Amino acid sequence: MNLRTAIIPAAGFSSRFLPATKAIPKAMLPIVDKPIIEFIIDEAIDSGIEKIVIVIGRHGDVIVNHFSFDQQLETKLNNSNREIFADKINRFSNRVEIVFVEQKEPLGLGHAILMAESEIKENCFAVLLVDELIYNEKKPAIGQLMCIYDEIKAPLLGVYDVPLETASNYGIVSGTESGNGLIAVSELIEKPQKPSSTQAVIGRYIFTTDVFDGLKQTTSGVDGEIHLIDALNVLKTSVFAKHIEGERYDVGQPLGYMQASLKHALMRDHIANAIKHVLDQ
């Protein structure tokens, strides 16, 4: 497989988290003590990704600074016998190449992906959104897609079954499903008023580079944004979807963020014990 690069769009306004995200990118909100974006990068690395392109927007310097080497901080940590924290802040330095591109206008997800075109050197790439955290100890979500991409060599979308009453909030796919959870997509609609299924596109994708041509041909849609699903509908190629296995948390909205934070906290014994102590009082 020549899929070695992933794009992480992190340039949105994150209006559902205002006022917290007025000056801080949503991707930098902590799940306990670890920013959301680090969970996404870990997933990509664990799946075999070697290069990550982070698309930044307003206040993107916060993300750039987070992944930059800080000599003063590292020296202070090492001199005060807190090397464990020095390791934490530098843990990506030898594991993956991280580059940044800027989305100067907030024109949507499709436009953000298009901004990263110059950094894609292979004929396929992955996209991971920071809105979704998916826990699967055996196989990371994007890794599940990468495992079957070689069989189809076509755009591949991660999907998750959602309640019918919330389906209109997502891109919805319909199509013919095979026994391995793979769907040959026949219809792909962004936020339909009357959803034809409950198979929602979540934030994990694999694309061939011809998706850039589709994005360039796509006109602005709802809210003046360039929608990724519209670009896929422009392309005259087969599109597939794959059911993602794991616990999914929509951290793009406060309730899902709190649920993911609690999940992560309970995975750490000393925090879990402290939570139990508080609840028992």
- Are residues 133 and 260 in contact, defined by beta-carbon separation less than 8 angstroms? yes
CA atoms within 13 A of residue 66's CA, in its CB half-sphere: 21
- What pLDDT is recorded for position 222? 62
pTM for the whole thing?
0.90
As a whole number of angstroms, the distance between CA 182 and CA 145 comes to 10
Q: Quote the crossing angle between the two packed helices 36-46 and 141-152, to the nearest 10°.
A: 40
Q: Which long-range contacts (CB under 8 A, 24 or more apart) does 271-280 make?
A: 271/32
- What pLDDT is recorded for position 277? 66
- What pLDDT is recorded for position 130? 95
Token pair belonging to 153: 């060599």
User: CATH top-level class for 5-280?
Assistant: alpha beta
Please identify every stretch of the chain with a pLDDT value under 70, giving residue numbers as ranges: 1, 83, 86-87, 179, 221-223, 236, 277, 281
- What pLDDT is recorded for position 120? 94
Question: Of 45, 37, 59, which is closest to residue 6 (Cα–Cα)?
Answer: 45
- What ranges do the domains of the chain cover? 5-280
- What pLDDT is recorded for position 95? 85
Residue pLDDT, tens place only, 18-35: 888 888 899 999 998 899
- Sequence-distant (≥ 6) Cβ neighbours of residue 279 within 8 angstroms: none
